[in-house]
Structure 1
Amino acid sequence: MTRPAETRQRIIAAVLRIIGDDGVAGVTNRRIAQQAGVSLGSVTYHFATQQDLLRESLLHFVSEETRHIGELARRTEGEFADLRQVVRLVGEVAGAMPPDSERIAPYELYLHAGRDPELRTAAAECFAAYDRLAATVLTALGVAEPEKVASAVVGLVMGLKLRALATGSDAEHLVDALLMLTRGAEPAGGAGSAAGEPVRPAGEPG
């Protein structure tokens, strides 16, 4: 017998797939039920309105995303000597995630939030979660005013990921842009900045 929590997660996963494939306009209870393999009544039982569905789907995506990145940061915490190594890791993570429907879905939801006030609170919570995660890493690296830098880093990463999704490009532009930001964000006298030494992308010989 399927547990209620499992049914709820299957519904949310189906919503994200549908939004990624056809946008928010493609979300109907009948299609969700078909994609999730649940009864039509289960959809309305767990989510009374479409706004509930969209909000919970967006929050679920970001919760999973921040959990995954947070675990990765904790596992590799002792390996970071400077911000450039974090940038390289971000590039590796981005490069390992090919554009697909579930990666497109959050951007569709963020845009929809601009038209639907009921979804804006969820979108704000999502950006706040990304900002907190970025600020935590930047603080550990000794970056000055990490909260201010965090929002810029999050904005840059999300903008360049959107570009990659739209153009099918890889993570190279993301890494290059973050490395440029690194020059302004590293602590005074930080590694790699001494004597005007340029920051080199990962894999580039010294």
Structure 2
Amino acid sequence: MSETPVRERILAAVLHIIGTDGIAAVTNRRIAAQAEVSLGSITYHFPSQTDLLRDALLGFVTDETARLTDLAEQYRDKGLSLQDAAALTEQVVRDLAFDAERMAPFELYIQAGRDPALRAAADQCFAAYDTLTVTILEALGVPNAATVAPPMVATIAGLQLRRLATGTDGQDVSAAIMMLIGGAMLAQQPPPT
């Protein structure tokens, strides 16, 4: 039996099942088998499937945001240019393997569109990504970072979804980031007189 706490094993199992076979495949029996826990432990920790799905999504994003924050901190004092930061972001995006656990959030975001009980969790997830992006953009000196962050997060997520759906790696994340930043900088310039 694993040393990992039961609750964490359950959430990891939920992400794996969703990423492998979709939300419809999430059953207590399947979770119990995947997590190697008793059926009763699932309902003890999560009274409803919505609680399970919400906590799985929030847990993934918390871990992912911490990982990306640590990565950003490694480069904070390296004097990266905007171009270098965009290229680094593209490399990070390309290096992500689409294992089941990384596919699951896309399914959960779609489910949040159907299930109002999950929308607050999805909103928290995107807010966490926005906050991380604002921090990075401000460190790079990008004006209006709070305005640029949501479209940047949406662009990267959209390109990732496209990559997942098509199986191709043809998107230029770096170019998309530079277009968004360039647009933000143009918006800062005073209008011609």
Q: Is TM (by shorter chain) over 0.5? A: yes
| Separation in 2, partners of 1:153, 1:141 | 14
1:42 corresponds to which residue?
41
Q: What whole-Å deviation, never above 9, does each CA across 1:139-166 have from its counterpart, x for those lacking one?
A: 1111111100001110100000000111
Q: 1:174 to 1:147 in 2, by over 3 A?
A: same
| Separation in 2, partners of 1:167, 1:78 | 37
Q: Is the 8 A contact 1:144 1:187 kept in 2?
A: no
1:30 corresponds to which residue?
29
For residues 181-196 of structure 1, what are the structure 2 equivalents within 5 Å?
A: 181-185=180-184
1:120 corresponds to which residue?
119
| Separation in 2, partners of 1:80, 1:168 | 34
Query: Structure 1, unaligned stretches of length 5 or more?
Result: 189-206
2:104 corresponds to which residue?
105
Q: What whole-Å deviation, never above 9, does each CA across 1:48-100 have from its counterpart, x for those lacking one?
A: 10000000000001001100000011111112432221111111111111222
| Separation in 2, partners of 1:45, 1:81 | 48
The percent identity for this pair of structures is 51
Q: What whole-Å deviation, never above 9, does each CA across 1:154-189 have from its counterpart, x for those lacking one?
A: 01000000001111122742233223323334589x
| Separation in 2, partners of 1:39, 1:107 | 28
| Separation in 2, partners of 1:80, 1:154 | 23
Q: Does 2:151 match 1:133?
A: no
Q: Does 2:87 match 1:88?
A: yes
| Separation in 1, partners of 2:58, 2:155 | 21
Q: 1:182 to 1:84 in 2, by over 3 A?
A: farther
Count how many residue pairs are aligned between Structure 1 and Structure 2: 187
Q: Is the 8 A contact 1:59 1:122 kept in 2?
A: yes
Q: 1:187 to 1:89 in 2, by over 3 A?
A: farther
Under a length normalisation based on structure 1, what TM-score does the superposition of the two structures give? 0.85
Q: Does 2:157 match 1:158?
A: yes
| Separation in 1, partners of 2:171, 2:114 | 32
Q: Is the 8 A contact 1:19 1:26 kept in 2?
A: yes
RMSD: 1.9
Q: What whole-Å deviation, never above 9, does each CA across 1:90-132 have from its counterpart, x for those lacking one?
A: 1111111122211110010000001111100000000000000
Q: Is the 8 A contact 2:144 2:184 kept in 1?
A: no
Q: Is the 8 A contact 1:131 1:150 kept in 2?
A: yes
Name the SS for the 2:114 alignment partner: coil
| Separation in 1, partners of 2:32, 2:172 | 39
| Separation in 1, partners of 2:172, 2:22 | 26
- 2:156 corresponds to which letter in structure 1? V
Name the SS for the 1:54 alignment partner: helix
